[in-house]
Structure 1
Amino acid sequence: MEFKIYKNKNKPLFVYIHGECLSSFSFKKEVDELKKDYTILLPVLNGQSENHSGFTTVQDAAISIIEYIDQNYDGHVQVLAGFSLGGQIVTEILANRPDFSEYIMIESVMMKPKKYIAGVILQRFISIPWLKTNFLTHLCIIPNLMMISHWRNIIKTTKSCLKRQ
């Protein structure tokens, strides 16, 4: 796992964990605003965006983040935030260390049994070849630059990466 850091000396730590097929680019506006008052840490999850090593499990990602923060920030986080897959990782971090952060933000997290997830994964993987054509980037309302970055991440997503999430 890689970590992007926007240091602001003597400021509290704010950790954002991105969702599936996203990366640090998905928090650009938030980072621009919050880096005035916080040190921002953005984990780049394995198998996502520029980090090409394969994603293993939510549990492994949570342990990697905990270890990194323990080693580099004395195990203390002011704000811990996660979106989608990142929110699942936040819940796993809190299951291991309930006192890890003073404030928690979790958005758009799917917490369903694995049987349900298997159907969603298969459906998503079947649709990915169509998404790889870049056809949807012209139809979406999402800002162009962000959609292009998201599309690049989708085409790099492997079937094994989807199965493990």
Structure 2
Amino acid sequence: MAGAPRFNAIRPSRLHTPTNRYRSRFVTAKNSNAAFSTTSRLQSYEDTLKNLKIGADTKATANVKESLQWGTKIVGGVKPGVEGEHLGLPVFPSVRVAQEKARPDATAVYVPGNQTAAAIEEAIEAEIPLVVAVAEHVPIHDILRVGL
């Protein structure tokens, strides 16, 4: 077809030869002009970008720090089976204990998607009036069950 637009930018003349007739038209690493790093330089955990590190600055901790700076009154946190203190705030072993001791008006749920429904249900059972879930990839059946 003369004058027909070509949508493949990778050597279109080679794509229609008999040996390449069934080749995919999608760009692959082998065919692309993109440069990929092949360095063998070993890097340590300290070289990791700060926002990708796991530990002291997780999403929940970072959000609490920022919320405290904005003046939000945070009464504590929950870590199952652990009691103590973090960022000067009490850490409770369960949502029920947090509700009894701190009497929160709301809760923010920071758990992986597959644990979100159970965490929301625990907050509902503890009769916390407002539950805000911050999660990605929550299974559809969990969303329907909890009513997100």
Q: TM-score range by the shorter chain?
A: 0.3 to 0.5
Q: Relative contact order (alpha carbons < 8 A, sep ≥ 6): 1 or 2 greater?
A: 1
Higher strand share: 1
TM-score of the two chains, using structure 2 as the length reference = 0.35
Higher helix share: 1
TM-score of the two chains, using structure 1 as the length reference = 0.33
